[in-house]
Amino acid sequence: MDGSSLGQLRTNEIALAGPWELREFVLSPDTGFLRPETVKLTPDIGFDGSATLADFVNQNEAAIVAEQHTVPDSFQGSPFLGGSSFNNLTAWTAPGILNNEARHKFSLNTCNGCHGAAETGTPFLHVNPRSLGSEATLSGFMTGINMPDPVTGELRFLNDLGRRNQDLKALVCEPAPTFAGASLNTCNGCHGAAETGTPFLHVNVRAPGNEGTLSGFMTGIEVPDPVTGAPRMLNDLARRNQDLKALVCAPVPGFAAAATAERPGAAASRSAFIRRGIGRVH
């Protein structure tokens, strides 16, 4: 097994006797063989319900709530981390825990808490055995389930596949651009009656041979502000024209006034040309 990329090998077994027992093995750097390792984030089951567990959760509350905690091999001078995890289908609790959300996050991240009926509604298996040719069914914890908290009874919605989806998006996807206070720059604000007077389409469906008609927002319309009621003149084609001129048209020295002049009827011709072009594209 030399050169293996195996990080750890985790086993779940019930062949010899119940309950389910979860273990972890890693490759020994000396021999290359598997050797037993502690089960991460899971104390020895003897600490469930103890003052020691309450002390650990209270002292590490912020990290546990953020799910960035680790469970040390030893705590308060005694071995703490479990060598295996017996699944008794319960939740990790202890008198004296100050923040029940921290208790929940701690329990949820242990082997037996995650695979236990009390915390996640799971009778151990998150992916249930299947017959040949059938799909495996997933636990409610994976796909979405309301669970009463084992301490307070408060309902909590659990959906681990949804959480993983959000975590992956946060890791690999760039956030969508936002325009604080600018409803006009949102997709639904721009295409909405309240902000632009537009019943969605800015280029309306046309019959063959006809020109496409444009929304008032594109050609010019006065719309009351949806919050203040103050009238606002909107003309997006004119705005685009101004933006384009500012971008590409440099004034000719000595002809500043002439550069801004426009022959009579030019605006109407340009608008008709744009409508015909848009109509063909649409």
In this structure, the strands spanning 21-27 and 85-86 are: antiparallel
Per-residue pLDDT 10s for the chain (282 aa) are 455 778 899 998 887 777 889 999 999 988 889 999 999 999 999 999 999 999 999 999 999 999 999 999 999 999 999 999 988 878 999 999 999 999 999 999 999 999 999 999 998 899 999 999 999 999 999 999 999 999 999 999 999 999 999 999 888 887 655 544 457 777 887 888 888 888 878 887 767 767 778 888 889 989 888 888 888 888 988 888 888 877 777 554 554 444 444 444 544 444 443 444 434 333
* Cis before 19? omega within 30: yes
The 8-class DSSP code of residue 45 comes to G
Q: Long-range contact list for 208-214, CB < 8 A, 24+ apart?
A: 210/279, 211/272, 211/275, 211/276, 211/279, 212/275, 212/278, 212/279, 212/282, 213/275, 214/275, 214/278
Please report the pLDDT score of residue 280 as a whole number: 37
Q: Please name the helix (run of DSSP H) or strand (run of DSSP E) that holds residue 29, with its range, or none.
A: none
Q: Say if residues 123 and 87 touch (Cβ distance below 8 Å).
A: no
Q: Please name the helix (run of DSSP H) or strand (run of DSSP E) that holds residue 155, with its range, or none.
A: strand 155-158
Please report the pLDDT score of residue 251 as a whole number: 56
Sequence-distant (6+) residues with CB within 8 A of 103 are 57, 92, 93, 94, 97, 151
Q: Say if residues 75 and 56 touch (Cβ distance below 8 Å).
A: yes
Instruction: Report the C-alpha gap between 190 and 200 in whole angstroms.
Output: 8
Please report the pLDDT score of residue 227 as a whole number: 84
Q: Say if residues 105 and 70 touch (Cβ distance below 8 Å).
A: no
Beta bridge partners, 25, equal 9, 36
pTM of the model as a whole: 0.60
